[in-house]
Structure 1
Amino acid sequence: MFYVRYLIKQVGDITEKDFGGYDSEYNYINAATEAGYSTLSYDRIGTGKSTKADSHLRNGSLSEFASISIPNPSKVVQVGHSFGSALVNALAETEPSLSDVIVLTGYSSNTTWTVSFAIASNFPIAAETDPQRFGEYDKGSLTWADELANQYAFFRYPYFDPDVLAAAERNKMPAAIGEILILEPTDSPAWTGPVLLISADQDHVLCGGKCHGILSQAKQLFPNAETYVQPNMGHFMNLHFNATAFYGVVNDFVGGNVVL
């Protein structure tokens, strides 16, 4: 089942703190709310309080998802990051009627650097690296080795606070091996709506640390795409000093394509 962490019903009604707290510059929920948007956040399968599915999917049984009731929105904007962007990308192709606008952050169509990312992360078995936190996960659930691996893959010095890196390491969650293996971009000619593709300029995972000229290659996957490269950050875009500027780009794009 999905575990819904917080439902913001109206502007200013934040019922639970997100990363860094209500007033934090790293809090995207706060940035979206201040811009006038209502948001629904949930833990993806396998993380937080959501269902811990068998990572190999061999037993053929998955728990039924819990249903939630929310008011019918006039417009639906799908915003993803990294693996979440891959999911939104696939959803836009297979079920284009489910969204009005999509935003793919931490995204690229170039997978050249996937191998170096995997080597740097090492991907040990999560339950063996931290039995107290991850002991309930099976051996198909992986994580990166330590804080140094976290920084190398996802952060870019000196554009982040070391305390934020430490907090990110303390709060990391495992990923099933099946998730890691399906991180592929999807050609989406069926999606003709507005789409914004964003990467950090020094994203090691997506473009070896030099994203200018790389992200533009992804425009060919969509009939109507815009691209933007955010300066001075790595793959974990939310956790760098200029996260609020990144949020502003997203909100401006959404505001230009959705009438509140």
Structure 2
Amino acid sequence: MSSFALLALLGVASAAKVCTNVTVPVYINARQAIFDVPTFETNLDAVKFSLDFTNIGMNYTDVVTKGFENFQGLYNISAKYCKPQGDNKANPTVQVLTHGIGFDKSYWDLSYNNYNYSYIDVAVAAGYHTVSIDRFGIGNSSHADPLKVQAPSEVSALHEITSMLRNGTFPSVSHKFGKVVHVGHSFGSLQSYLLTALYPGSSDGVVLTGFSMNGTWLAQTLADWNLHLARLNQPLRFGDQSVSRSKTNTAWLGQSLISILQSALSAIGINLSTSDLWQEIATTELGDIINGWNATVAPVAQNLPTGYLTWSDLTSNIFAFLYPGYFDVGAALFAESSKEPVTLGEIFTLGNGAPATSPHTGPALVLTGNEDTIYCGGRCESTGNPNLASIPAGVAKAFPNASKFEAYIHPNTGHGINFHYNATAAYKVIQDFLSSNGLQSS
């Protein structure tokens, strides 16, 4: 892999960390399913898909699976490598960070509120190096047929990244890492788990955030998302629309639209307040379109195929990812404006066929918000089993050989842990767990 050309895109330094954005060519090789699904044309097709997928009368994944293939090819993975400024440790530990559905690698280094929610800042301050990636098919990584972007191909890419870090061929890094740990969120946690199961010995320690192995609430999640075609939901980011602005074109689109609507409605005898109209706009797909137009930097139209989907609006985002009262509404708006899509292939492989156990022998931590709706149904401690402290604690069965297993339930937190007020407290739990199990940098 070291023979492939590599492009270092950007170097960024701060008082605590030095980061470099890189494009990493990886060779993906994965056995995965062939799904036969008609091409989507409209949002109604996405609704029909959700109905079929959640229908209790059939296993829709089995219905559309027509065989298996070896998916292979060279693709680019967008990554961000960070290390402590002035670091001179001989044996640093690197954390490989894998985001979940709806996010990209910025989940680990959120710019909102002057990086106050940055996981990477906390990890680097604890002496760790980090590599955060855009999963295959997402963000600035290579896009592909949405039916081909599945968990197995993404895990293959993660394994290649891990191997590069171990053998010293990861771009912009001049040494080999003797200790590599994997930290995931949600679908990224599933992929980190699959990495330990399918590539034994690849990880020295694993941290699975926003995770359990209980899929009871998958149908609820899809119902909440009210899936739409990403290219229609945010046409300026995911579609083929482009936006150009002159220096004089500085009016805020949302405010302009409110004024227009107020005038038009008033003309027919409907008088809605500015506040009511703002609520209507901000919490529907109109808000997604306006956010794209109002972006500081005009978005690049990705022209994604229709098999790239996303949830409908801000309210769906909050239901799935956030716990009301314990997050900044501005952060929620930021999350909605910067959300990433999910592929059909990913939905079909959300835990489908995952091994029940992993041979992983290192430490394993599961950290999930107590009010996680996706993996806990809204209350992780409500197990109905006096012998099971929490739903995520059940993951212990998947790690029978782990040197240490711990399930930690973070209070007042929903599924999207990093967007909550107390996110940094969760980050500290992770660093303490790793260091207490011999995985600190030295």
TM-score normalised by length of structure 2: 0.54
Contact 1:124/1:143 (<8 A) preserved: yes
Deviations 1:15-34 (A, max 9, x none): x9931269533100101011
Correspondence for 1:151 among 309, 312, 318 = 318
Which residue type is aligned with residue 211 of structure 1? C
> Where do residues 175-254 of structure 1 align in structure 2 (5 Å cutoff)?
175-184=342-351, 186-212=355-381, 213-223=390-400, 224=402, 225-254=405-434
Aligned length: 254
Is residue 18 of structure 1 aligned with residue 75 of structure 2? Answer: no
Identity of aligned residues (%): 38
Three-state SS of the structure 1 residue aligned to 2:378 is: coil
Question: What's the offset of the Cα at 1:181?
Answer: 2.2
Deviations 1:68-107 (A, max 9, x none): 4332112000111001001011110111211100001111
Question: What's the offset of the Cα at 1:235?
Answer: 0.3
Which residue type is aligned with residue 3 of structure 1? S
Q: Which residue of 1 is the match for residue 260 of structure 2?
A: none
In structure 2, runs of 5+ residues without a counterpart are 1-75, 88-105, 162-168, 240-302, 382-389
Distance 1:26 1:92 in 2: 28
Distance 2:178 2:372 in 1: 34
Distance 2:433 2:418 in 1: 17
The structure with higher relative contact order (CA 8 Å, sep 6+) is 1
19-28 or 32-41: bigger deviation = 19-28
Deviations 1:10-59 (A, max 9, x none): 3478xx9931269533100101011111111221122221101111129x
Distance 1:151 1:129 in 2: 17
Which residue type is aligned with residue 430 of structure 2? V
Q: Which residue of 1 is the match for residue 81 of structure 2?
A: 7
Question: What's the offset of the Cα at 1:179?
Answer: 1.0
Distance 1:57 1:162 in 2: 35
Distance 1:22 1:9 in 2: 22
Structure ID, larger Rg: 2
Q: Which residue of 2 is the match for residue 107 of structure 1?
A: 211
Distance 1:125 1:226 in 2: 39
Q: Which residue of 2 is the match for residue 160 of structure 1?
A: 327
Which residue type is aligned with residue 105 of structure 1? T
> Where do residues 29-178 of structure 1 align in structure 2 (5 Å cutoff)?
29-57=120-148, 68-69=170-171, 70=173, 71-135=175-239, 136-178=303-345
Which residue type is aligned with residue 10 of structure 1? P
Which residue type is aligned with residue 131 of structure 1? P
Three-state SS of the structure 1 residue aligned to 2:323 is: coil
Question: What's the offset of the Cα at 1:186?
Answer: 3.7
Distance 2:212 2:222 in 1: 16
Which residue type is aligned with residue 47 of structure 1? I
Name the CA shift for 1:74/1:96 in 2 (closer, same or farther; >3 Å). same
Name the CA shift for 1:97/1:156 in 2 (closer, same or farther; >3 Å). same
Name the CA shift for 1:33/1:207 in 2 (closer, same or farther; >3 Å). same
Three-state SS of the structure 2 residue aligned to 1:88 is: helix
195-204 or 49-58: bigger deviation = 49-58
Distance 1:145 1:10 in 2: 39
Deviations 1:225-249 (A, max 9, x none): 2111000010000000000110011
Three-state SS of the structure 1 residue aligned to 2:207 is: strand
Three-state SS of the structure 1 residue aligned to 2:208 is: strand
Contact 1:11/1:38 (<8 A) preserved: no
Which residue type is aligned with residue 423 of structure 2? A
Distance 2:203 2:85 in 1: 22
214-223 or 186-195: bigger deviation = 186-195
Contact 2:196/2:358 (<8 A) preserved: no
Three-state SS of the structure 1 residue aligned to 2:228 is: coil
Distance 2:86 2:144 in 1: 34
Which residue type is aligned with residue 99 of structure 1? S
Question: What's the offset of the Cα at 1:176?
Answer: 0.7
Distance 2:361 2:138 in 1: 32
Question: What's the offset of the Cα at 1:189?
Answer: 3.6
Which residue type is aligned with residue 220 of structure 1? K
Question: What's the offset of the Cα at 1:7?
Answer: 1.8
Question: What's the offset of the Cα at 1:259?
Answer: 3.8
